[in-house]
Every structure is written in C-alpha cells, then in structure tokens.
Amino acid sequence: MTKSKAAEPTIFGASIFHPDEWQARLELAACYRIFAMLGWTEMIFNHISLRLPDSVSDGTLQFLINPFGLHYSEVCASNLLRIDASGKVIDASRYKPNPAGMVLHQAIHQGIQQAHCVMHTHTTAGVAVASVAQGIEQHNFYGAQLFERIAYHDFEGITLHPEEGERLLKNIGDRQAVVLRNHGLLSWGVSIPQAFAILWTMQRACEIQYATASLGQPIPVSDEVARQCAAEALQIDPSFGAGRDMFDALCRQVDRIDDSYKI
C-alpha cells in the first residue's frame, strides 16, 4: 500500500504512535475499507485483527481491532483499538471492542504464533455454505484451490465464551482457511495480504458453489486435480508474494474512492 504519514496524529509535533504501529494501523484500516468496498460487512459487527510487531509490543501479544459501533467504512488508522493478551484496551479510547468475536481473534492470536492477521465474515454465500454438511466443495475453480486446506469448527452459539477457544484451536490445527459451521468464514495469515488472499478464495468458492447449486449438480473435480490446484494456488503462495500484489491493487482502488482511513 502507499505509505503516508501526512495525516499521522501528533502532539506538539511528536508522533503519538510508534512508526511501526502507525504503518500497521494504516494497512489494517485500508483492509477494513476494502471489505466495505467489497460488501463483506455485517452492519457494525465482525472483525479483522492484526498483531503488532515486537518493536511495538516488546514481544508481548498486542493486536489491533475495530472499535465497536462503527461501520467498516468509518474505521481509520487512529480509531483502531490496541488490545493486550488479556483482551483489555491498552490506550484510552471512547470506543470499546465487541466482546463477541474478540474470543475468536484473541484465541487464534494467542494460540497460533504465525497468525498475525485474523479475518472473519458473515457474507451470505459464506454463511450459506458454512450451513450445509458438505461445507466448501472442490468442484469449482476456487474450491479446488482450497482442497485439504480447510478446517471446520462446529457451531457453539455466539462466540462469547473463552473455553470455546481451545476447541477452536484444536479444530484449526495449522489450516489457515476455517469454516465456522452455521456461522461464517475465517482466515488467518502471516500478514494482512495473505489472510486476505485466503479469505477471498474462500468467498469466491462459496459464491460459485452457491450459484452452481441453484443450477444443478456441479461437474465433479477429482481429488488429484483439486490437490494440484491447491498446490499451484499462487495468490496464497509466499514465493509469489502471498497476496501482496492483489491487496496493494485494492488499496489503490480504495484510495481513489476515499482515503479518509489514513487519519
């Protein structure tokens, strides 16, 4: 994404945020605006969270998340909340986090070292496919790329209870594409672009599966072909940027529409 410090908040000319934190805030706020642009929003609900680098957190777990009550189109770099390992807001803010969903994000950031970014959506296609027994099938271009890469977690109600975290982590294992049954989609990644690339692939798989189901039975894709597709899914592959180019293109698109997230 385009780096900009022009609108960074200052007190008497000094930056409020560590430079690495400000860059993390800019990228995460841009991601919220991308979700809004794509229609991956659920009123004021759902979350995208980002672990802060050790240079900011001194090696402790700290992550950024959206303030509860704002639409994704209202999230900006400075109003993101910084949360500690116990789930408390670190800096003074007029906003609070939404406890529902925080359980999911906190558990994954704590339990999976590589989970720097966690994303969760309730899109219609995502919830629909999460609500059928077969889950995401391999019988379309996008579903095939996720073959043997998807974890499933059974529905336990609204995710408010910390004890669900252990079961969630056990079900996720090391898989970065997660279907929360009867609930929605979730992805995690080493970076925002990687988590985004995975979630986008899941979203497209669900949309196509949902559309195909209205037409009839899909033409089956064999395990062999699906496995090859998954191995060659470049948008997820770290050696091909792990989604960085795609994410940066969307940041530029957001910037052309409304770059007010940079404050």
Q: Which residues bind Zn ion (CB under 5 A)?
A: 184
Q: Which residue has the tokens 């906003």?
A: 95
- Which residue, 103 or 251, is less far from Zn ion as judged by CB? 103
Number of C-beta neighbours around residue 166 at 10 A: 11
Please tell me the distance from the alpha carbon of residue 73 to that of residue 30, in angstroms, as a whole number: 10
- Which residue, 125 or 242, is less far from Zn ion as judged by CB? 125
Smallest gap from Cβ 179 to Zn ion, in A, equals 12
Smallest gap from Cβ 3 to Zn ion, in A, equals 32
- Which residue, 184 or 193, is less far from Zn ion as judged by CB? 184
Number of C-beta neighbours around residue 44 at 10 A: 14
Q: What SS3 class is residue 18?
A: coil
Smallest gap from Cβ 51 to Zn ion, in A, equals 20
- Which residue, 77 or 178, is less far from Zn ion as judged by CB? 178
- Which residue, 143 or 184, is less far from Zn ion as judged by CB? 184
Smallest gap from Cβ 158 to Zn ion, in A, equals 8
**Token pair belonging to 181:** 């049954």
Type and span of the H or E element at 198? helix 192-215
**234 alpha-carbon distance from chain centroid:** 19
Q: What SS3 class is residue 131?
A: coil
Smallest gap from Cβ 99 to Zn ion, in A, equals 12
Please tell me the distance from the alpha carbon of residue 124 to that of residue 42, in angstroms, as a whole number: 10
